[in-house]
Amino acid sequence: MKEGRIATMADTTIRGEGVSKIFSGSVVAVEDAHFDIRQGEFISIVGPSGCGKSTLLRMVAGLIDITSGNLTINGSVVSEPRNDVALMFQKATLLPWKNAMENVLIPTSLQGRKITDADRKQAIDLLQLTGLSGFEFAYPDQLSGGMQQRVALARLLNTGSNILLLDEPFGALDEFTRETMNMELLRIVSEVKATALFVTHNIAEAIFLADRVFVMTPRPGRLARIVDVPFGKDRTPDLAQTPEFNRIVSEVRSILGAGH
Ligand SMILES: Nc1ncnc2c1ncn2[C@@H]1O[C@H](COP(=O)(O)OP(=O)(O)OP(=O)(O)O)[C@@H](O)[C@H]1O
Ligand SMILES: [Mg+2]
């Protein structure tokens, strides 16, 4: 086994041992999931509709309780939402009466303190990081869908959380914008040294972004396999044309196929 691939207690940030979620006494949304996620890792979660991807993310976010098993972050049991974990959805959910900078400042306001000039500067810096310099004072309806997602990403980063949970954040964007946003996301996540869990239906996107891909299969929702993606952090869209990349796409496809 390659060195550095074995998770130890010291570098594991999120650990699931036999995690299950049963809704309404009968719907098994996630069954017996085992995983160890290391600090700074980028994990994609892929699988068909209804296989429990969002449920897994919401359990990690502390938004819903697990039914059985053990789920810890940095060694403590997840029982409620935590400051070091932030979640982003498919829709940007910006407040239409607030401009881009004010939307990014929402997590700061939620901390219940007065917004300072330093906070505003940080929001502007984050908008620059997500490629929105010059649009700090634009309102959501003046921004394209992709730009709105950039604001949502800046807002996510402004939570200061270093565990980022992204539930199909670019699912509603066209393919070109989505590819750009994927490149941006890779750059930003490695710049802020975050740990990321990224949900998508798109196998190529999952592989392109991730250090490892969690492949889930439905009925019941199972974490069928964890696939290693042996490419470095510096990736360009050409990667998707390489035989090694396509071999991993086929591997993930066959795991998904076998799950039906
Ligand atoms: N609050 C809930 N109450 C009851 N059942 C639920 C609830 N949330 C999810 N489920 C069920 O759990 C299963 C997994 O749902 P989940 O939303 O996690 O799937 P998903 O993989 O995110 O799907 P999609 O790709 O469509 O977003 C589904 O059968 C769903 O109906
Ligand atoms: Mg979902």
Residue nearest to atom 16 of ligand 1 (CA): 52
For residue 4, is pLDDT > 50? no
* Percent of residues, the chain, with pLDDT higher than 90: 71
Band (260; pLDDT cuts 50, 70, 90): low
Q: Ligand 1 centre from 67 Cα, in Å?
A: 15
Distances (CA, A) of 222 to 19, 21, 118, 253, 255: 10, 11, 45, 15, 12
Which atom number of ligand 1 is nearest to the Cα of residue 55? 18
In whole numbers, what is the pLDDT of the chain averaged over residues?
91
Residue nearest to atom 14 of ligand 1 (CA): 52
DSSP count for the chain of H helices, then E strands: 8, 10
For residue 3, is pLDDT > 50? no
User: pLDDT at position 208, please?
Assistant: 95
Average pLDDT over every residue of 189-196: 90
Residue nearest to atom 7 of ligand 1 (CA): 23
Average pLDDT over every residue of 26-46: 95
**Would you say the CB of residue 49 lies under 6 angstroms from ligand 1?**
yes
**Would you say the CB of residue 53 lies under 6 angstroms from ligand 1?**
yes
Average pLDDT over every residue of 15-40: 94
Condensed to tens digits (0 to 9), the pLDDT of residues 212-258 reads 999 999 989 999 999 999 998 888 889 999 999 999 999 999 999 87
Q: Answer with the residue of higher pLDDT: 58 or 259.
A: 58
Residue nearest to atom 1 of ligand 1 (CA): 23
For residue 179, is pLDDT > 90? no
* C-alpha 106: how far from chain center: 20
For residue 16, is pLDDT > 80? yes
If one residue of 20, 21, 46, 51 were mutated to test the ligand 1 pocket, choosing by the most ligand atoms within 8 A of its CB, it would be 51
How close are the terminal C-alpha atoms of the chain, in Å?
31
Q: Ligand 1 centre from 56 Cα, in Å?
A: 10
Q: Report residue 115 as tokens.
A: 């917004």
Structural domains present in the chain: 1-84+163-260 (3.40.50.300), 92-160 (no CATH)
Condensed to tens digits (0 to 9), the pLDDT of residues 69-123 reads 999 999 999 999 998 999 998 887 899 999 999 999 999 998 888 999 999 999 9
Band (259; pLDDT cuts 50, 70, 90): low
**Would you say the CB of residue 159 lies under 6 angstroms from ligand 1?**
no
